Structure 1
Amino acid sequence: MADVPVNAPEHCPGTTSEQAGKSASCQGCPNQKLCASGATKAPDPAIAEIGQKLSTVKHKILVLSGKGGVGKSTFSAHLAHALASDSSKEVALLDVDICGPSIPRIMGLEGEQVHQSGSGWSPVYVEDNLAVMSVGFLLSSPDDAVIWRGPKKNGMIKQFLRDVDWGELDYLIIDTPPGTSDEHLSVVQYLSSTHVDGAVIITTPQEVSLQDVRKEIRFCQKVTLPIIGVVENMSGFVCPKCKNTSLIFPPTSGGAEQMCTDLNLPLLGKVPLDPRIARSCDEGKSFLNEIPDSPAAEVYQRIVQSKC
């Protein structure tokens, strides 16, 4: 898998390609001389180390979204809760949103700290079979700002994948920040020596969200990351009392369903907007455990049963 620079042209061959810095698409690229010199072609030894470290993890799933605020971390957290509801499964949730780590709050783990052991960093456990790791555990306060450039972010992601004592896992869910930038390229590169099931892409029904999601889909195709499917979040508001559905964010271009049809991608499900989900996240509780018979919880369970 070729490592594609953040500011690469549309048809970049990747820094590890024999054509790096030499192909027609490299003309005018700010990285051309560096790529052509071969300085970027030496493989990072951490890639092999991470492959060995994660060899005991059966399934690895990335959760992506092109746009912020679409409920990606909420989905990641509840996907982990849903998988861990089977007590025979070992599940872990890795938060690589370095600048906006919301997973500790959503999982009810604010104030927890990471401990060092002989085998590496020990993750924080929500349940006996559900582990969590986030940069939020390394901050002195939830209000601390992480003001890091790309290399330091990439170094932290490398540590999370290589130095955390994950143990034997059935599922590792990786929650990523919005966009297609340093963190995403780093995760894909560092996981290149191990099998990744693919990405679940989160969107909302509006065209402004779908626009960014199409970019995310293009990113996955460019770095050869399989796409498990798309989830449309906030897909209508279900009144907790009367159960009627209202379209708070009406789709103007057919929503995720039409996009998936156009791009030949699976639509995994449409999660309705339920204010109780936000309340559960604020309180650090599992919405699936709190209100298991809600329409949103039923959609989560169908997604897990059909694809995981």
Structure 2
Amino acid sequence: MLTKEQVLEALRDVKDPELNRSLVELNMIRDIRIDGDTVSLTVVLTITGCPLKAKIEQDVIDALKQLGAKEVRLQFGAMTDEERAALSAQLRGGQTPPSAPAGQAPLLNPILAKDSHTTFIAITSGKGGVGKSTVTVNLAVSLARLGKRVGIIDADIYGFSVPDMMNIEQRPTVIGETILPVEKLGVKVMSMGFFVEDNSPVIWRGPMLGKMLRNFFTEVHWGDDLDYMLLDLPPGTGDMALDVHTMIPQSKEIIVTTPHPTASFVAARAGAMAKRTGHEILGVVENMAWYEAKDGSKEYVFGKGGGAKLAEVLSTELLAQIPLGQPDNHPAEPDYTPSVYRADSPIGKLYLDMAKRVAEKCEAGGQ
């Protein structure tokens, strides 16, 4: 006959998908009752209407049936405010978070600490419309496909687009004072877009932008140490870029441009700013490099050479030339995204090659 101890032991391997911690460790398994080969229990979710309730339910049932239960009866509840506050404190390590500079909020996560193993990569450009966000999400997903633990902060507060590009409809879960990022395709994502209703405009001045960026670190639980955190910056050299340079002095940068000479000329300013503030430039990505016609010929609709010239000016390398193209994804597919290329598609392979090169450069620099 099954015992409560066996049930708890079997459920130790079942994790909350958002927190990546055992349901047993989080005290989410309650009221275990055993009647022959029937197991009844209550799963206490972090919030009412937890978006991943169905997955948790299936994982619990599978684990208990593998243990030998013929029937599993589940009830669901939700944590009280006090329990959520205690969990929030537990996620913070049960202690006061590390201190931050005077006048700034304390840091929830150690990823900004000097001894952090997380590599920050800011994706920037001189002007809008060059595909910076497309490069960000595809590089992030490609790094995840290589087995890296990756996060994205959509720091383009006015022009946030990452949730839409990755087809993320789920909102972040809030536990007490802690926000959990939304995960898609192996990438943890945080964006201003999660907190704006009906695509409303964000009308803020400079200081508020920096405050929101810092909140993405002080109030978001990123979990275990990430290997890479990508920041999708607004175009140009404005307030948000300055905040990143100040807040994350160890950040590296990738500059995105099109082949057009003017785009390359303007992007050089972003690169010059990175150099002036001591950020390492990993390289240049030339987006919309050409259009491949049906007969296989290449049409250089935005000209040639902008990426190579920019890389030369900044004394760095041209990481990739990405042609014009639309991902061949269908809305009926699971994990559909309008902007992420399949791993086995021609453009998807270019991004995978770029991800390998970026990881190689970052890991060589960290040795």
TM-score normalized with structure 1 length:
0.75
Aligned to 1:98: 157
- In 2, the alpha carbon distance for the partners of 1:46 and 1:53 equals 16
From the CA coordinates, give the structure whose radius of gyration is larger.
2
Q: Tell me the equivalent position of 1:292.
A: 344
Q: Residue 246 of structure 1 aligns to which amino acid in structure 2?
A: E
- Map 1:114-153 to 2 at 5 A: 114-118=172-176, 120-127=178-185, 129-141=186-198, 143-153=199-209
Are residues 134 and 182 of structure 1, via their aligned partners in 2, closer, same or farther at CA, if it must alter by over 3 Å? same
Displacement of 1:130: 1.5
- 8 Å contact kept, 1:57–1:172: no
Give secondary structure in 1 for the equivalent of 2:262: helix
1:169-248 equivalent positions in 2, closer than 5 A: 169-192=226-249, 195-196=250-251, 198-239=252-293, 241-248=294-301
Q: CA 1:136 to 1:263, structure 2 compared with 1: closer, same or farther past 3 Å? A: closer
Q: Partners in 1 of 2:152 and 2:267 — Cα distance?
A: 22
Q: CA deviation at 1:48?
A: 7.2
Give the count of matched residue pairs. Answer: 253
| Aligned equivalent of 1:85, options 128, 145, 153 | 145
Is residue 329–residue 337 contact of structure 2 (8 Å, CA) maintained in 1? no
Change (3 A) 1:287 1:156: closer
Q: Is the CA contact (8 Å cut-off) linking 1:202 and 1:231 kept in structure 2?
A: yes
Which residue in the other structure is 2:221 paired with? 165
1:47/1:191 contact within 8 Å kept: no
Change (3 A) 1:286 1:69: closer
Q: CA deviation at 1:121?
A: 1.0
Q: What is the identity, as a one-letter code, of the residue corresponding to 2:263?
A: S
Aligned to 1:22: none
Q: RMSD of aligned C-alpha atoms?
A: 2.5
List structure 1 segments (4+ residues) > 6 angstroms apart after TM superposition.
Answer: 277-280
- Aligned-pair identity in percent equals 32
* Cα distance change of structure 1 residues 179 and 278 upon mapping to structure 2, 3 Å threshold: farther
- CA spacing shift, 1:137–1:93, aligned 2, 3 Å: same
Contact 2:126–2:267 (CA<8 Å) still a contact in 1?
A: yes
Gap runs ≥5 in structure 1: 1-41
- How far off its partner does 1:297 sit? 2.1
- The structure, 1 or 2, with the larger RCO (C-alpha pairs under 8 Å, 6+ apart) is 1
Following superposition, the deviation at residue 286 of structure 1 comes to 5.5
How far residue 279 of structure 1 moved from its aligned partner, in angstroms, is 9.0
Q: What TM-score, normalized to structure 2? A: 0.64
- Cα distance in 1, alignment partners of residues 269 and 139 from structure 2: 23
SS of the aligned residue for 1:169 comes to coil
Match of 2:310 in 1: 259
Residue of structure 2 aligned with 1:59, choices 119, 129, 148: 119
- The alpha-carbon distance between structure 1 residues 279 and 204, as it changes in their structure 2 partners (threshold 3 A), is farther
Q: Whole-Å Cα distance in 2 between the matches of residues 277 and 257 of structure 1?
A: 28
**Take 2:311 and 2:106, find their aligned partners in 1: how far apart are those partners?**
35
1:190 Cα deviation from its structure 2 partner: 1.4
